[in-house]
Structure 1
Amino acid sequence: MCTSFAVHLDKTVIGMNFDISRRPIKIALQGDDQLLVLQNDNGQFYPAFGMNGNGTFMNLLMVDPIEEGNYRRGKDCIHIMKLFDEVLSGRIELAQILDYLESHAIVNLPNQSVHSMIVGKNRETYIVEPGRKHLEMDSSGSNKDFMVLTNFPLSEVISNENRNIKGAGADRYLKAYDMITNHRETFNLQTGFDVLQETVQQSGDYPTQLSLVFIPAESKVNFTLNGDFTKVYEFSFITKRIQSIEGFTSNQSLTLSKKGVLLTELEGW
């Protein structure tokens, strides 16, 4: 199901809990600077979320379908996986994203329904919901420096002042929202992990497989596996390496490639 957030203070801090049924999941490097998290479905690996060395992040979270967002062909129709590729490859700059969304109808792939958080290092955050209204972080609002996304259509409740939010992930949304609100002056890497730990799912159909905090200004991604926050891994966009950081009995590292590494391999460290 998943929980994600973007906080823009002295530094931009991006967080993501990747919640999905047990299956092979791998981290891979595409090109020189795209870090992708891919999940296996019927023998094929498909992107779930990713980020690049320029500090751009985009995810694909499950959401209730709506007919207007269903896959269709058309001159101005762009399916969201193409948007994902265009954004992370840098072919669409974030400064152009609103114009792009206005001039194209973003649709889902067949038999899928997702929405996305797109984040840049320069205080940019956008929510793309196929068939629904797209959102930009409101620079004049009370929550001007952060956004949270789980698994209900955010565009339908963003102006809901009474917090009577319903739908998949509403509880996780409110937990993350309140924690970020209460730590806006001191939000950092550890606070990001605290939010993810508070919203982690240890049981049910969608347990948390990967928890990740990305700080673009530092060119680093820190992550934990299976809801175990005692062991912290780090990927550097500068060295292209994953290494053990905290909680391990010995130092481990590897150079990431297009082939990628399975999370089960990293669990063995």
Structure 2
Amino acid sequence: MCTSFVVHLDKTYIGMNFDISSRPIKIVLVGENQLQVQQKENGQFYPAFGMNAKGTFMNLLMVEPNEEGKYRRGKNCIHMMKLFDDVLSERIALPQLNEYLENNTIVNVPNQSVHSLIAGKRESYIVEPGRQKLDLDSVNQDFMVLTNFPVTDESRAEYKDASGPGNDRYIKVHEMITNHIGPFNIEAGFKWLMETVQHDGDYPTQFSMIFIPEERKVYFTLNADFEKVFEFFFNTKEIQSLKGFTNHTTWTLSNKGILLSELVKTL
């Protein structure tokens, strides 16, 4: 269970709370220009979300399944993990994504059901296998929010009437964005994430982040400790302890990755 949003203002602000049961999670540099957060399941690491140096973000959030979105093979059937790889590796450029989605059928991988917020500097989409897609033009606003219920099923309804898993978090973020007064900044984004943190239950918040594509930087916190902020900079491929730490530490990221448990040691 997760909460994510994108806001397009003078800069683009992409935020996400990664809520998942206790398990190994790592941050990985894929190639030279892609950052992924991966979680371990059944002995293997799988991507949960990622972003690239060009400013594109994509996540994979749990959502209730539907028959039309189930995995199948067929002409022009594209499963979500291929879409994830193609988007973040830039084989599909965001300005061409709308046409791509019109010409292909997006399905899930076997035994999984996810949907995605795909966001960039100017374009953003919500993609839900077996359901409709949304973009900024169709929602007629400069932001999008995604949690764990199928948004496109309720795209014509008032946001306050949203129902399903994560609807409370969806409504809360929607209202905070709509009612925000003053300049937007990282602190405001983290405040919204703080308000939707999950401390208890099966899916506590493990990782919270704000990605600003124009800065090529990702700001993140661990285990809902918003007093201590890390930063990843695509230009240097380094993570550094940015705020709230007694000592300054830097880690160079590689394709081997670094476990969040290693970073937690500095908290």
TM-score by length of 1: 0.97
Shift of 1:185: 4.7
Q: Percent identity?
A: 65
In structure 1, distance between residues paired with 2:89 and 2:182: 33
- Which residue, out of 184, 188, 197, partners 1:200? 197
- Could you tell me which amino acid in structure 2 is paired with residue 221 of structure 1? V
Deviation digits for residues 184-207 of structure 1 (CA, Å, limit 9, x no counterpart) = 652211110000000010010000
Shift of 1:165: 1.4
Contact 1:180 / 1:187 at 8 angstroms: preserved in 2? Answer: no
In structure 1, distance between residues paired with 2:40 and 2:7: 30
Q: Is 1:217 paired with 2:214? A: yes
Q: Is 1:145 paired with 2:142? A: yes
Q: For residue 95 of structure 1, what is the aligned residue in structure 2? A: 95
Shift of 1:161: 2.3
Runs of 4+ aligned residues of structure 1 deviating over 2 Å after TM superposition are: 138-141
In structure 1, distance between residues paired with 2:160 and 2:264: 39
Shift of 1:140: 7.4
- Could you tell me which amino acid in structure 1 is paired with residue 189 of structure 2? G
Instruction: Name the SS for the 1:81 alignment partner.
Output: helix
Instruction: Name the SS for the 1:264 alignment partner.
Output: helix
Cα pair distance change 1:218/1:112, threshold 3 Å: same
Instruction: Name the SS for the 1:239 alignment partner.
Output: coil
1:99-248 equivalences under 5 Å are 99-122=99-122, 124-138=123-137, 141=140, 144-161=141-158, 163-183=160-180, 185-248=182-245
In structure 1, distance between residues paired with 2:125 and 2:183: 23
CA-based RMSD: 1.1
Deviation digits for residues 79-135 of structure 1 (CA, Å, limit 9, x no counterpart) = 00000000000000011101111111100000000000000112x110000000011
Contact 1:69 / 1:106 at 8 angstroms: preserved in 2? Answer: yes
In structure 2, distance between residues paired with 1:161 and 1:266: 41
In structure 2, distance between residues paired with 1:162 and 1:109: 29
Contact 1:139 / 1:145 at 8 angstroms: preserved in 2? Answer: no
Shift of 1:62: 0.3
Q: For residue 6 of structure 1, what is the aligned residue in structure 2? A: 6
In structure 1, distance between residues paired with 2:131 and 2:155: 12
Instruction: Name the SS for the 1:163 alignment partner.
Output: helix
What is the count of residue pairs matched by the alignment? 266
In structure 2, distance between residues paired with 1:185 and 1:46: 39
Cα pair distance change 1:116/1:162, threshold 3 Å: closer
- Could you tell me which amino acid in structure 2 is paired with residue 130 of structure 1? P
In structure 2, distance between residues paired with 1:2 and 1:151: 7
Gaps of 5+ in 1: none
In structure 2, distance between residues paired with 1:184 and 1:95: 31
Deviation digits for residues 17-56 of structure 1 (CA, Å, limit 9, x no counterpart) = 0001100000000111100000000110000000000000
In structure 2, distance between residues paired with 1:47 and 1:161: 32
In structure 2, distance between residues paired with 1:99 and 1:216: 23
